[in-house]
Amino acid sequence: MRNSRLIILILCMFLPLTHSVARADHFVYKSATEYDYPPFSVTEGGVADGFSVELLKAVAEEAGISLSFKIDRWSTIKQELEEGKLDVLPLVGYTEERDKYFDFSVPYIVMHGNIFVRKEDTGISSEEDLPGKEIIVMEGDNAQEYAIRIGLGEHLISVDTYEEAFRLLSEGRYDAVLAQGLVGARLIDMLGIRNVEAVTKLDNDGITEITENLSGFEQKFCFAVKEGNHELLSKLNEGLAIVSANGRYSDIYEKWFPYLLNNKPTFEEIAVNVLMITLPILFIILFASLVYVRNKVKKKTIELEKANREILSMEGYLRNQQKLEAIGVLASGVAHEINNPVNGIMNYCQLILEAVDKDSEIAEYARESIHETTRVSKIVKNLLQFSRDEQTRYEKVTIYQMLSQILSLIQAIIQKDQIELTIDIPEDLPEIYCHDQQIQQVLMNLITNARDSVNKKYLSSPGAKKMKLSAESYEHSGGTWVRIMVEDNGTGIDDSVRDRIFDPFFTTKGRHEGMGLGLSISYGIIREHGGDLRFETIEGGGIRFIAELPVKTDGKGIEKAQME
Ligand code: ADP
């Protein structure tokens, strides 16, 4: 009982799969059944019916596929399936020969072949008596293949239907019919034949007479499709799984085999057959899905790790740059402030030295002071020199390339934050003569500020975040200029703080979020390049920062501008 529940549970896993197939499939598959092969195939009144036909119809319905049926001779429909003129046959006994040109569903019933003879003595009481006898079989049936296989081909009489075979036998023509036991018994009954019976033997108990089953003529009945039609076959197997699980198979079986109920294959037997086919498929699907999901997760993890590293390195870079800039500003300010007093102290020390006895204790203190002050002076001068060196590293820069470089750095962040970034940068912008690193620093500041602003405003609706990076060249005061714009649809800047935005250490961000140096340093850098940095409010909210830089075609121009 527990087992059946488990099997039902596993089988039910196929239901959603099957129903999705059902919805998508409007194709009508062609099927056919042979003239009477009762109770598997019954064609009374020209309507295809019988156990196998009804089972196939039920399976098709559960699997969501449509079928049409025709009725014809077995050898014809078998041929047509082989040629692909038919899609599926409901009742095909499995054999190795047939497996070469058909694909078989799981077997849904297993039956045995019997020898039928007239009741009068025909000299046939077992399989061993068959050689040399005239035996009737249906053309193309398993019985024919079996008879040929065991060397009875020479005296074999093939007819189109078993009905014909049993009539001939009954009329005294030929010696025996080889047929599937159940079919033979049903036909004898249906045709009202009284003088034909199945060959029997004594059971192991030595008393009971039982029908002699032909060794090697065991028929596993399956649905068959043309070799290679895996799609239809898997639907049929799924359908079989469902009718086994939902009780339809039992109902159909009871309808067509009322006298065989005790021999009815158990639900477990059918289910095990079905599972033998479907479980490996299920495992393959599960395994493939797992591998797919694992690869996807792995790929995403690598992408995220990369994005994370880029963000960290960029933010770290930005923070370090800001710190360095801050230290630079501070250091050069301090250096300027200290330089004069240090020089003054040195002069005073010189005066003291001249005014006192050279061997006195005071002279000694003065000399020591001069020595120490010289050290300080040297440090200050180095600092000033350092600042000047930094400012003189100018080079020709292609704005398009520089912006592309920045974009490759920020792409990961923009994607991570789900910001819609519009880029409008013409490739043919003129080269500018500038401090590459510093201009990059400015643009990074503007872009990260814009990003912070949209992130802050659209915390709960990431789809609304928008940024735009654009650039253009234009003529102004007799020279060419480049304008770079960074805009966002973020928080905007409150009127009350507009005048303080470029002040050093002004920030509206929380502790550890902003140092308030980015814009002041950026402003300084752009001004040093002879340009301008400003911002304007965008209609509908948000801010546009505009950096304007003169294009200087040679180094002298910029050096001149700096000296002024
Ligand atoms: P910080 O990043 O440390 O705040 P910044 O100099 O970069 O320093 O910016 C100063 C302040 O200017 C920010 O704190 C913010 O209030 C404001 N700001 C800068 N850019 C924008 C922007 N795109 N949108 C709204 N406010 C901005």
All structural domains of the chain with their residue ranges: 2-106+222-263, 111-216, 294-387, 395-563
Compare 340 and 559 and report the one with higher pLDDT. Answer: 340
Fold of the domain built from segment(s) 294-387: Helix Hairpins (1.10.287)
Hey, which of 444, 449, 485, 538 would you mutate to test ligand 1's pocket, going by the most ligand atoms within 8 Å of its Cβ?
A: 449
Strand partners, 138: 159
- Spell out the alpha helix ranges (H) of 479-517: none
* Residue 518, burial from CB neighbour count under 10 angstroms (0-12, 13-18, 19+): buried
Q: Where in 227-334 does DSSP place strands (E)? A: none
Least confident span in 12-26, 46-60, 141-155, 228-242: 12-26
* Ligand 1 center from residue 212 Cα (angstroms): 97
Closest ligand 1 atom to Cα of 542: 24
Number of other CB atoms surrounding residue 160 within 10 Å:
16
Is 509 touching ligand 1 by the criterion CB < 6 Å? Answer: yes
* Tens-digit pLDDT profile for residues 201-245: 887 777 777 788 887 787 788 999 998 888 898 888 888 878 877
Q: Scanning the structure block, which residue is given the tokens 């090697």?
A: 216
Q: How far is the CA of 506 from the centre of ligand 1 (A)?
A: 8
Asked whether 142 and 98 are in contact (CB, 8 A), the reply is no
546 touches ligand 1 (CB under 6 Å): no
Look at the chain and count its residues. 564
**CA-based torsion, 440, 446, 452, 455: positive or negative:** negative
pLDDT score of 564: 34
Mean pLDDT value across residues 180-186: 85
What mean pLDDT comes out for the span 291-319? 64
Please tell us whether the domain made up of 2-106+222-263 is placed in CATH 3.40.50.300: no
Q: Which is more confident, 46 or 195?
A: 195
> How close is the Cα of 517 to the center of ligand 1, in Å?
9
* Spacing, Cα 200 to ligand 1 middle (Å): 101
Any atom of ligand 1 within 6 Å of the Cβ of 114: no
DSSP conformational letter for 515: -
**Residue 514 CB contacts under 8 Å (≥ 6 apart), including other chains:** 452, 507, 508
Q: Comparing 371 with 365, which gets the higher pLDDT?
A: 365
Q: Is 486 in the pocket of ligand 1 (CB under 6 A)?
A: no
Same fold, 111-216 and 294-387: no
C-beta contacts of 164-168 below 8 A and 24+ residues apart: 165/136, 165/137, 165/138, 166/116, 166/191, 166/193, 166/196, 167/191, 167/193, 168/136
| The pLDDT of residue 261 | 46
pLDDT per residue over 466-482, tens digit each?
999 999 999 988 889 99
Ligand 1 pocket member 516 (CB < 6 A)? yes
| Cα dihedral 410→413→419→423 (10° resolution) | 10
Tens digit of pLDDT for each residue in 367-392? 777 767 765 665 665 565 555 444 45
Helical H segments across 113-180, by residue range:
142-149, 162-170
**Alpha carbon distance 42, 402 (integer Å):** 82
Q: What is the DSSP letter of 121?
A: -
Cβ 518 under 6 angstroms from ligand 1:
yes
Q: Name the fold adopted by 395-563.
A: Heat Shock Protein 90 (3.30.565)
Query: Tokens 């930094």 appear where?
Result: 390
Q: Which CATH superfamily is domain 111-216 in?
A: Periplasmic binding protein-like II (3.40.190.10)
